[in-house]
Amino acid sequence: MKFIVSSTNLFNHLQAISRVINSKNSLPILDCFLLELHDGTLSMTSSDNETTLSTSIEVNEFDGDGRFAVSSRTLLEALKEIPEQPLAFQVNLDTLEITVQYQNGQYNLMGQNANEYPQPQDLGANAVRLTMPAEILMSGVNRCIFATADDELRPVMNGIYFDITPEDITLVASDGHKLVRNKTYAAHGTEKAAFILPKKPANLLKNLLPKEQGDVQIGFDDRNAMFTLENYQMICRLIEGRYPNYNSVIPQNNPHKAILDRASLISALRRVSVFSSQASSLIKLNLSDNQIKISAQDIDFSTSAEETVICQYDGNPMSIGFKSSFLIDILNNIPAANVTIELADPSRAGVIVPEEQEENEDLLMLLMPMMLND
């Protein structure tokens, strides 16, 4: 079997799918890429047994069809140093000897038997299918992924929850301290359905989607989901279990509302949080007439700081405590110049939303408060 392929094109596609491969695998074959040539199309696959990512490119010339596995690390390291040029692959499918010829030399390496490579699960006959614009899916995943948990006792919290209805699609993530609810009216399903996408495939989508155009086809059943993009296809195992009722934790009546500039609030939080206790990262927000006083102190080291930020607020004075790193994370993931912070009392969650929602979107973030000693 022979084929000629562009070095840059091959390297870029292999590098994109290589993110699936774990540093330590239970099966040695999972350290490899699966390469398959059929009618001039070279398909490339990588897998960790739970998530499988595949892509394909057209080759320039070819002779024969076939499939083989090859060490991902060896091939990527070898291709990384080759500038753009045609590469001639010659593969003996009986002995699995591979020769790669380039402008000034050649590589010789051994392949492995492709039949040992695990096959991804097909979706069941009852699979739900829907279409979502790549841009919408990308912004939803980007806004939610930071709020997913790493909780071995509650695995359902370790992914992004897709809540699908005939009117809209809502992406939710929460670790018990912070929660993101990103609802879009620009996409919808044909029926009520839901699934929980694990963090690793969500991160893979986050890396692949910026290069994609058009629509993403999503299909899922009880165990697996399939995402079909323009250039890639990903099949992944879903997290099984029931996601908590996220709407029940969002306070509906928040009388204290402050509108302020997001960038200046982040800057002030970063400056003041340096002086907070390293154990708790507690910062205190004190709201009064058209201003928020941000303060922090570390009693152990006798350090403290406070800064005042101008805002629109005409409610009763109130104080509330938050973990500074969580609040900064939330503000960094809201795409708006101004944000509205809605509060009920110091013991109930604070709701943070953009002052103006983007078209066809409803984005809401929630942060649980920390107890103040005074």
Q: How many CB atoms lie within 10 A of CB 29?
A: 17
Predicted pLDDT of residue 98: 92
Q: Please check the confidence at residue 250 and state whether its pLDDT lies above 70.
A: yes
Q: Please check the confidence at residue 262 and state whether its pLDDT lies above 90.
A: yes
C-alpha dihedral, 18 to 20 to 24 to 28, nearest 10° = -70
Predicted pLDDT of residue 374: 61
Q: How many CB atoms lie within 10 A of CB 364?
A: 19
CA 219 to chain centre: 18
Query: Hey, what are 334's tokens?
Result: 């809201």
CA separation for the pair 48, 43 (Å, rounded)? 17
In the numeric block, the tokens 């944000």 are attached to 339
Mean pLDDT value of segment 95-110: 92
What is the 3-state secondary structure of the chain? CEEEEEHHHHHHHHHHHHHHCCCCCCCHHHHEEEEEEECCEEEEEEECCCEEEEEEEECCEEECCEEEEEEHHHHHHHHHCCCCCEEEEEEECCCCEEEEEECCEEEEEECECHHHCCCCCCCCCCCEEEEEEHHHHHHHHHHHHHHCCCCCCCHHHHEEEEEECCCCEEEEEECCCEEEEEEECCCCCCCCEEEEEEHHHHHHHHHHHHHCCCEEEEEECCCEEEEECCCEEEEEECCCCCCCCHHHHCCCCCCEEEEEEHHHHHHHHHHHHCCCCCCCCEEEEEEECCEEEEEEEEHHHCEEEEEEEECECCCCCEEEEEEHHHHHHHHHCCCCCEEEEEECCCCCCEEEEECCCCCCEEEEEEECCECCCC
Predicted pLDDT of residue 27: 83
Predicted pLDDT of residue 148: 94
The pLDDT tens digits of the residues spanning 118-169 come to 888 888 888 999 999 999 999 999 999 999 999 888 899 999 999 999 999 9
Q: Are 212 and 230 in contact (CB under 8 A)?
A: yes
**At 325, is the pLDDT very low, low, confident or very high (cuts 50, 70, 90)?**
very high
The pLDDT tens digits of the residues spanning 288-320 come to 989 999 999 988 888 999 999 999 988 889 999
Q: Are 96 and 70 in contact (CB under 8 A)?
A: no
CA separation for the pair 112, 110 (Å, rounded)? 7
Q: Please check the confidence at residue 10 and state whether its pLDDT lies above 90.
A: yes
The pLDDT tens digits of the residues spanning 22-52 come to 888 888 888 999 999 999 899 999 999 899 9
Tell me the Cα Rg of the chain: 25
Indicate the pTM of the whole model: 0.90
Q: Which of 40, 38, 43 is nearest to 69 (CA)?
A: 43
Predicted pLDDT of residue 196: 95
| Relative orientation angle of helices 7-17 and 72-80, to the nearest 10 degrees | 140
Q: What is the mean pLDDT of the chain?
A: 92
CA separation for the pair 97, 88 (Å, rounded)? 14
Q: State the number of CA atoms in the 13 A half-sphere of 326 facing the CB.
A: 27
The pLDDT tens digits of the residues spanning 270-287 come to 999 999 988 889 999 999
Q: Please check the confidence at residue 368 and state whether its pLDDT lies above 90.
A: yes
Predicted pLDDT of residue 279: 86
Query: Distances from the Cα of 294 to the Cαs of 30, 44, 207, 233, 291, in angstroms?
Result: 51, 53, 35, 47, 10
Predicted pLDDT of residue 197: 95
Predicted pLDDT of residue 25: 81
Dihedral of alpha carbons 310, 312, 315, 319, sign: negative
Max Cα–Cα distance, the chain, nearest Å: 80
Structural domains for the chain? 2-116 (3.10.150.10), 128-248 (3.10.150.10), 250-367 (3.10.150.10)
